Structure 1
Amino acid sequence: MKVIVLGAGVLGVTSAWYLAKAGHEVTVIDRQTGPALETSFANAGEISPGYSSPWAAPGIPLKALKWMFQRHAPLVIQPRLDWQRLSWMARMLGNCTSAAYAVNKSRMVRVAEYSRDCLGALRAETGIHYDERTQGTLQVFRKQEQLDGAGKDIEVLKADGVPFEVLDRAGCIAAEPGLAGAADRIVGGLRLPGDETGDCFKFTNRLAEMAAAAGVTFRWGVGIEALEAEAGRISAVRTDQGRMVADRYVLALGPHSPLLVRHLGIKLPIYPLKGYSLTIDIQDESRAPVSTVMDETYKVAITRLGDRIRVGGLAEIAGYDLSLNPRRRATLAKSVSEMFVGAGDPDKAQFWTGLRPMTPDGTPIVGATPIPNLFLNTGHGTLGWTMSAGSSRVLADVISGRRPDIQSEDLGYARYLKGRKPAATGVLQPANA
């Protein structure tokens, strides 16, 4: 079959790879000049299945109120009247129960664990390199109440069979010697020895090269204007370079995905969650992280990528705004400077921001839609890199008519329908996607 993939971030490129491996004729369209130049460009670099948790959690509403008055808050809500945002936030609040959290985290861990296995198999098959490390990740707690509160996550890890270690201060420093300079700031940690790290941008570009060699066509600098629908199916993609036609269409446009399908009656509950990162050259390797350390207080991940440190995280609900906020830079710099004293100079770092496509329940939207030839691989939030290989393998299996290796029914758009069916008629209005 001919398949068009819309978007060339890590989800679009991995989708193209697995679809090509399944024997399909694949074309990828993207407005950028190359792969992974938006959300996938400078993310935190961690591949952390065990830490795959929804932002919607018990206690988050109260924490969010407290964060409003903190200078270095992990979550910031910019004041703005936006009905899409209000609707999304209301649905997110509805998922802030213990029961919803357990369900959502369990299925997120399921996808992420499978994705790590798929990535390992891909690495073994292709020999791809991307500053990868397989030395686990460590969540560091500055307060005893944070360590005590990890119990709900530990129960899910146990239920899903994910290996973990609860460490005291000395154990954290043994796992990450660079934390020695922060010994008086931490009380303990939760380590997941099976987690990995790597440069998502390098991975996506290298995989795109391999996919092209395997027959995938990449069309760069192509603006996607609309999806055209006829007789209950997608009939073409209208672009600024003409119409493009295929048998199947995959939407992998991250935070821009809802804009392209809403006039077809498909209302994707995805909202852009703005994140930030610093990329710092290592000056003292003995003080640098070995793998990924997650600073629970600021929700910041500090990751070793070759001879660099990537400091990524935070969440700002600000729509599609891509301006660089110096206060967010200060928070990232504070976290890395306190955790890894003297490892590098944050003042000389590359400062970046990107938009993550977040669903209210945290789980991505992967699989079929009520429009028979339209498929989704989007809504991964802060975990696109972690879940990319597994999500794309599931998608390729669904499109190819094969049963995925993991349960995937609860990953699709159908979980939001509640008996409604979108109308697959008409033509979408132009979208900035």
Structure 2
Amino acid sequence: MKIVILGAGVIGVTSAWYLAKAGHEVTVIDRQSGAALETSFANAGEVSPGYSSPWAAPGIPQKALKWLFMENAPLIVRPTVDPDTIRWMMAMLRNCTKARYSLNKGRMVRLAEYSRDCLINLRQDTGIQYDQRMQGTLEVFRKQQQMDNIGKDVEVLRAGGVPFEILDAAGCARAEPGIDASKIVGGLRLPNDETGDCYKFTTGLAERAATLGVTFIYDVDIRALRHEGTRVVAVETSNGDIEADLFVGALGSYTPKLVRPLGLDLPVYPVKGYSLTVPIINAAKAPVSTVMDETYKVAITRLGDRIRIGGMAEIARFSTDLPPARQATLTQSVEGLFGGAGDQSQAKFWSGLRPMTPDGTPVIGATRYKNFYLNTGHGTLGWTMSCGSARVLADLISGATPEIETGDLSLSRYA
């Protein structure tokens, strides 16, 4: 079957890989000059199935009000009267109940754990290298109240069979010798989590996919989907129409605009995130793997000879500006825990738009158009969930039974 994938981020490229492995003729189209040049370019670098949690959680509405007045708030809301923003935020607030949080986190962990297994198999099959490390993730708490509130997360981890360790400050220092243990009271460690450079992975996999016959078309604007009845017949681009037997929407935050003329209401919103990348100048003080700073909602990750500091969530539509105050928050987090490990004078500051759904779970699978599928809405977890999402998509398209439950992943759950 001839398949066109719209988008060459980590989701689009992994989808191309698994569909090509299943025997399909695949073409990937993207407006950028290469793969992984938008949201996948400089993300936090963590592959953390156990920390796959929706932003919508009990207590978030109250915390959000407090964050509005904080200098280094993990959530920033820029004033807007945009209807899409208001509608998405209201839908997110409806998911801030204990019952919905448990439901959403459970299915996110299910997909993320499966994705980690798919990544392991892919790495073994291809030998791909991307500054990967398999030394776990450590979430650290600066306040005792934060540590006292991990019960609901531990329940989900235990129910999902995810290994974890609850550590005091000394235990955290044993796992991460470079950390300033005086700044923390303890942590929650997931030993099976991984880290790696998403950009290196995606570009490397794109090269391997090309050897399977996947065609990549870059520098092309995707303008619209042309349909007849319940079938999409072509994608209209700046290079003309491209026809195929089946189409996959994997444009991240830009997917809703593409599918709206088809009458598809896709609740994916561009939640802005930031990252810093700094060279390591003192390896003994640098993190071993990923450390998540619960206070700032920031992930600090070792990527080869670099440290990637990523985090925060900003509701600002499609803005990609780089306010100095956001950089200061990332710097404050990493310097507080790993002071002197990286050269902040050489920091590269970046922002990207994470495609987030109100319930945190991505949208994967069929639509009411028989030959149009979606693989989008992964939020902060595109890297974590990429391989599993792509494998699920390839199975669904190829008529194979997926290895995990997928009935609650499609767009139909919002009907």
TM over 0.5: yes
The aligned residue for residue 342 of structure 2 is 344
The aligned residue for residue 230 of structure 1 is 228
Question: Structure 1, residues 127-163: CA drift from partner, whole Å, max 9, x if none?
Answer: 0000000000000000111101111000000000000
The aligned residue for residue 13 of structure 1 is 13
In the TM superposition, 1:308-347 aligns within 5 A as 308-347=306-345
Question: Structure 1, residues 293-322: CA drift from partner, whole Å, max 9, x if none?
Answer: 000000000000000000001000000001
2:391 pairs with 1:393 = yes
Secondary structure of the residue aligned to 1:178 is: coil
Rounded Cα–Cα distance in structure 2 between residues aligned with 1:328 and 1:132: 27
Rounded Cα–Cα distance in structure 1 between residues aligned with 2:311 and 2:396: 32
Contact 2:57 2:98 (8 Å CA) reproduced: yes
The aligned residue for residue 85 of structure 1 is 85
Rounded Cα–Cα distance in structure 1 between residues aligned with 2:98 and 2:345: 41
Secondary structure of the residue aligned to 2:408 is: helix
Task: Name the amino acid aligned to 1:74.
Answer: P
Measure how far apart 1:45 and its partner are.
Answer: 0.1
Task: Name the amino acid aligned to 2:204.
Answer: R
The aligned residue for residue 412 of structure 2 is 414
Task: Name the amino acid aligned to 1:33.
Answer: S
Question: Structure 1, residues 160-204: CA drift from partner, whole Å, max 9, x if none?
Answer: 00000000000000000011xx22210000000000000000000
Measure how far apart 1:267 and its partner are.
Answer: 0.7
Contact 2:232 2:372 (8 Å CA) reproduced: yes
Contact 2:291 2:301 (8 Å CA) reproduced: yes
Secondary structure of the residue aligned to 1:335 is: helix
In the TM superposition, 1:225-264 aligns within 5 A as 225-264=223-262
Counterpart of 1:200 (choices 193, 198, 201) is 198
Secondary structure of the residue aligned to 2:178 is: helix
Secondary structure of the residue aligned to 1:73 is: coil
Task: Name the amino acid aligned to 2:79.
Answer: P
Rounded Cα–Cα distance in structure 2 between residues aligned with 1:113 and 1:208: 23
The aligned residue for residue 158 of structure 2 is 158
Counterpart of 2:279 (choices 278, 281, 287) is 281
Rounded Cα–Cα distance in structure 2 between residues aligned with 1:95 and 1:63: 15
TM-score of the superposition, structure 1-length normalised? 0.95
Secondary structure of the residue aligned to 2:123 is: helix
The aligned residue for residue 141 of structure 1 is 141
Task: Name the amino acid aligned to 1:25.
Answer: E
Measure how far apart 1:232 and its partner are.
Answer: 1.5
Measure how far apart 1:347 and its partner are.
Answer: 3.1
Task: Name the amino acid aligned to 2:211.
Answer: A
Counterpart of 2:377 (choices 376, 379, 399) is 379
Rounded Cα–Cα distance in structure 2 between residues aligned with 1:47 and 1:325: 27
Rounded Cα–Cα distance in structure 1 between residues aligned with 2:377 and 2:313: 15
The aligned residue for residue 217 of structure 2 is 219
2:160 pairs with 1:167 = no
2:181 pairs with 1:183 = yes
Rounded Cα–Cα distance in structure 2 between residues aligned with 1:380 and 1:38: 14
Task: Name the amino acid aligned to 2:410.
Answer: G
Question: Structure 1, residues 228-266: CA drift from partner, whole Å, max 9, x if none?
Answer: 010211010000000000011000000000000011110
Contact 2:271 2:314 (8 Å CA) reproduced: yes
The aligned residue for residue 297 of structure 1 is 295
Rounded Cα–Cα distance in structure 2 between residues aligned with 1:357 and 1:224: 18
Task: Name the amino acid aligned to 1:22.
Answer: A
The aligned residue for residue 96 of structure 1 is 96
Rounded Cα–Cα distance in structure 2 between residues aligned with 1:344 and 1:230: 55
Rounded Cα–Cα distance in structure 1 between residues aligned with 2:111 and 2:262: 28
Counterpart of 1:362 (choices 338, 357, 360) is 360
Task: Report sequence identity in percent.
Answer: 67
Secondary structure of the residue aligned to 1:290 is: coil
Counterpart of 1:404 (choices 382, 402, 415) is 402
Contact 2:46 2:196 (8 Å CA) reproduced: yes
Question: Structure 1, residues 24-47: CA drift from partner, whole Å, max 9, x if none?
Answer: 000000000000000000000000
Measure how far apart 1:346 and its partner are.
Answer: 2.0
2:106 pairs with 1:106 = yes
Rounded Cα–Cα distance in structure 2 between residues aligned with 1:219 and 1:158: 44
The aligned residue for residue 30 of structure 1 is 30
Which 5+ residue runs of structure 1 have no aligned equivalent?
418-433
Contact 2:230 2:368 (8 Å CA) reproduced: no
Rounded Cα–Cα distance in structure 1 between residues aligned with 2:399 and 2:250: 20
Secondary structure of the residue aligned to 2:341 is: coil
Task: Name the amino acid aligned to 2:98.
Answer: S
Task: Name the amino acid aligned to 1:121.
Answer: N
Aligned-residue CA RMSD in angstroms?
0.5
Secondary structure of the residue aligned to 2:118 is: helix
Rounded Cα–Cα distance in structure 1 between residues aligned with 2:323 and 2:231: 42
TM-score of the superposition, structure 2-length normalised? 1.00
Alignment length, in residue pairs? 415
